[in-house]
Amino acid sequence: MSNSSDLHVDRVLRAASGVVPSSDTPDSLIHRSWHRCYHQHGLDPADCFDPCVESASRVRTSRERMEEYLQVARSGMEQLFKHVVDLGYVLLLTDAEGITIDYIGNDTWARDAQRFGLYLGANWQEHIAGTNGIGTCIQEQTALTCHSADHFYANNTGLSCSTTPLFHPDGRLMGVLDVSAQAQSDARESQHLALHLTRLYGRMIEDATFMRHFRDRWILRLATNWALVDVTGDMLLAFDADGVLLGASAAARQWLRALPPRRGADAVVGRHLMDLFDCTMDDIWRLARAPDAMERSLLSLVDQRSYFSSVIVPRVRAVGDGPLREAAEPAASVPVGAALRRLAGEDRKMRALQHQAQRLANRRINILIQGETGSGKEVFARALHESSERRHKPFVAVNCAAIPESLIESELFGYTAGTFTGARSRGMKGLIVQAHGGTLFLDEIGDMPLHLQTRLLRVLSEHEVLPLGAEQPVRVELTVVAASHRDLRQAIAAGTFREDLYYRLCGATLLLPSLRERQDLDYLIHLILEEEGREAGVPAAISDEAMALLRRCPWPGNIRQLRNALRYGLALCDEAGILTEHLPPEIGAGMPHAAPTLQAPPAAPMADRPAPPPAMAAARPPEAERLQALLHAHRWNITAVAAKTGQCRTTIYRQMKRFGIVSPVDAGNTPH
């Protein structure tokens, strides 16, 4: 062994035992590696290192497994090689096990490079090759230079290598990009440019792999510099149409570490964009169309900084046609469908909501509608369905508060023949499957029991339903519109609502204004009068005084209350139309001005479809008595009562709930 080799071995051994001479400039990362090689891997720096070359089939297996990564990396390497070829560098690409799976070399140096092990199949893992650019990069998971005497083995000190780790969008290490040359100078600084280029191209390869991997998903590119964000960014995030995170680039993963960890959950996947930014999916649609990067800033909830963004919309295959098309289409000029238009007159908030809903109608986004009870959430959901491409498909409404808890699972998910005995033994298609291709409206979603929330979450994320008793899941495609008058965020905090389900449901949130806030009360009065008058077969007129009285009312029960007041008036009035004395007494008397909030328990002063009562002061309205009698007469068979009254079963349950009517079955008694 030559004198210089002895000196190298001595230096490595001293550092590995913790003795670092003051003349040495310790690179803690390199010294850590020497320590590992000597103490953990049992390597001896005095030995002569022979490159370990894996079999051709091992290399082929690795290349086949990583085809996508390899293709992207190859293009990046070819570009990088143009910059470094004249400087005598060769390029290596390895897999995560440090095995060289691609190589671009320089003919003049090919022999020497081979001698050093710089070719296909060479295994550079640290426990085999000692401290080196690739193996140490895999251990440390960071870009580094292993220059000359940084190598563990003396016969590798003729090399200078700069490397960077390459991460898959799911956070796994894919491999290492290496730029190596014969060491010309003792100074590590001579490798700064090589390290910088390696890092730069490594990032490009990672980003390109990310873009390919998530080409059918939404991608958000973020940068602190607005001018470059459309070309290159600091971070990439991929998410689905509901705003649920699917992947993050290495830099974005690092950034997300500032968030509190989630017990048992991936640090990235499954989070929601609304956890990261002060925005909704609808804002993302808006950003996707904003041409000027200056308008595309997002406030981050991770570090309270503003980031400029560039939104890359998914390229999806349209059903039934081959070519790829852009998922997003210009939406600013989408005309609002008649059903949505009819819901409001000249009310600014409602106008904005109508446009927003129309834009969302055909994008497979789940929507959450919030608003006080009676503000028209179900009516809005129906109008949204009617204004969508799905209008010829089913609209299935489920009131989660109205279906008894014991039935909700089988009603929603269905069951196979033989799962139950008796009348239900034939099996039933659940409501979710009935909504296939159309819209499933889940009213009062906040009342859904927790274990069913878990099942529903699976349906939404996997598009499959497993009916009770079934072995094979049924595939379903549907858009879910959910509604709640409760503040679901509070329900999440209270532990009664699943946060991940909330995020699945609120691809966009629409908050309906209360009737008190609306500026189109006159429009609504005339609309409802016309509808009710037509149904009752009477002319729908109203006096100015009665109109004035209605305008002064604070409407704690919202549109439901307004409709009921007008029905009441129409029932009592004659051909001259509704006069003040025909309105319910509480309208004239003025109502309590306390506005119900989203958290308030449902305030339902009147039923949806009451028969005109002779007096409103009765403790229990006559329609409650009538419903009770009907239920009794039909032995509490809700389906039969629904058929008899021409209403759907959920309405019957809802009325029972409202009037406090409890079936003897639920109360634990046997019906008679």
* Residue 82 token pair: 């143009």
Using an 8 Å Cβ cutoff, are 502 and 510 in contact?
Answer: no
Segment 539-578, which members bind ligand ATP (CB under 6 A)? 559-560, 563
Q: Which is nearer to ligand ATP, 386 or 608 (CB)?
A: 608
Q: Which is nearer to ligand ATP, 461 or 519 (CB)?
A: 519
Q: Pick from 626, 610, 624: which is nearest to 657 by CA?
A: 624
Q: Which is nearer to ligand ATP, 135 or 513 (CB)?
A: 513
Interface residue with ligand ATP, options 527, 578, 606, 624 (CB under 6 A):
527
Interface residue with ligand ATP, options 376, 467, 569, 596 (CB under 6 A):
376
Q: Pick from 339, 480, 335, 455: which is nearest to 396 by CA?
A: 480
| Binding track, positions 422-451, relative to ligand ATP; x by CB under 6 A | ---------------------x--------
Using an 8 Å Cβ cutoff, are 224 and 308 in contact?
Answer: yes
Q: Which is nearer to ligand ATP, 320 or 646 (CB)?
A: 646
Segment 187-246, which members bind ligand ATP (CB under 6 A)? none
The CA distance from 112 to 53, in Å, is: 16
Using an 8 Å Cβ cutoff, are 584 and 568 in contact?
Answer: yes
Residue 371 engages ligand ATP in binding (rule: CB under 6 A) = yes
Interface residue with ligand ATP, options 180, 375, 410, 650 (CB under 6 A):
375
Interface residue with ligand ATP, options 27, 419, 608, 630 (CB under 6 A):
608
What is the SS3 string spanning 25-80? CCCHHHHHHHHHHHHHCCCCCCCCCCCCECCHHHHHHHHHHCHHHHHHHHHHHHHH
Choose one: 30-38, 69-77, 119-127, 367-375; the region binding ligand ATP (CB under 6 A): 367-375
Element (H, E) at 480: strand 479-484
Amino acid at residue number 334:
V
Helix (H, G, I), strand (E, B) or coil at 161: strand
Element (H, E) at 526: helix 521-536
Binders of ligand ATP: how many residues, by CB under 6 A? 20
Interface residue with ligand ATP, options 20, 52, 211, 379 (CB under 6 A):
379
The CA distance from 180 to 148, in Å, is: 11
Q: Pick from 651, 604, 602, 594: which is nearest to 627 by CA?
A: 651
Q: Which is nearer to ligand ATP, 270 or 602 (CB)?
A: 602
Choose one: 376-384, 430-438, 565-573, 610-618; the region binding ligand ATP (CB under 6 A): 376-384
DSSP character for 477? -
Using an 8 Å Cβ cutoff, are 222 and 235 in contact?
Answer: yes
CB of 463 to ligand ATP, least distance (A): 26
Q: Which is nearer to ligand ATP, 160 or 439 (CB)?
A: 439
Interface residue with ligand ATP, options 361, 528, 607, 627 (CB under 6 A):
528
Cβ atoms within 10 Å of 1's Cβ, excluding its own? 11
Q: Which is nearer to ligand ATP, 310 or 564 (CB)?
A: 564
CB of 608 to ligand ATP, least distance (A): 5
CB of 343 to ligand ATP, least distance (A): 4
How big is the chain by its Cα radius of gyration, in Å? 34
Using an 8 Å Cβ cutoff, are 558 and 373 in contact?
Answer: yes
Interface residue with ligand ATP, options 97, 170, 275, 378 (CB under 6 A):
378
Q: Pick from 198, 191, 249: which is nearest to 219 by CA?
A: 249
Amino acid at residue number 368:
L
Choose one: 90-98, 523-531, 573-581, 659-667; the region binding ligand ATP (CB under 6 A): 523-531
Q: Which is nearer to ligand ATP, 229 or 566 (CB)?
A: 566
Strands (E), 383-444: 395-399, 414-415, 428-429, 439-443
* Residue 159 token pair: 């090399």
Segment 479-518, which members bind ligand ATP (CB under 6 A)? 483, 485
Partnered with residue 464 across adjacent β-strands are 475
Q: Taking CB positions, which residue lies at the least distance from ligand ATP?
A: 376
Residues that bind ligand ATP (CB under 6 A): 343, 371, 373-379, 443, 483, 485, 524, 527-528, 559-560, 563, 602, 608
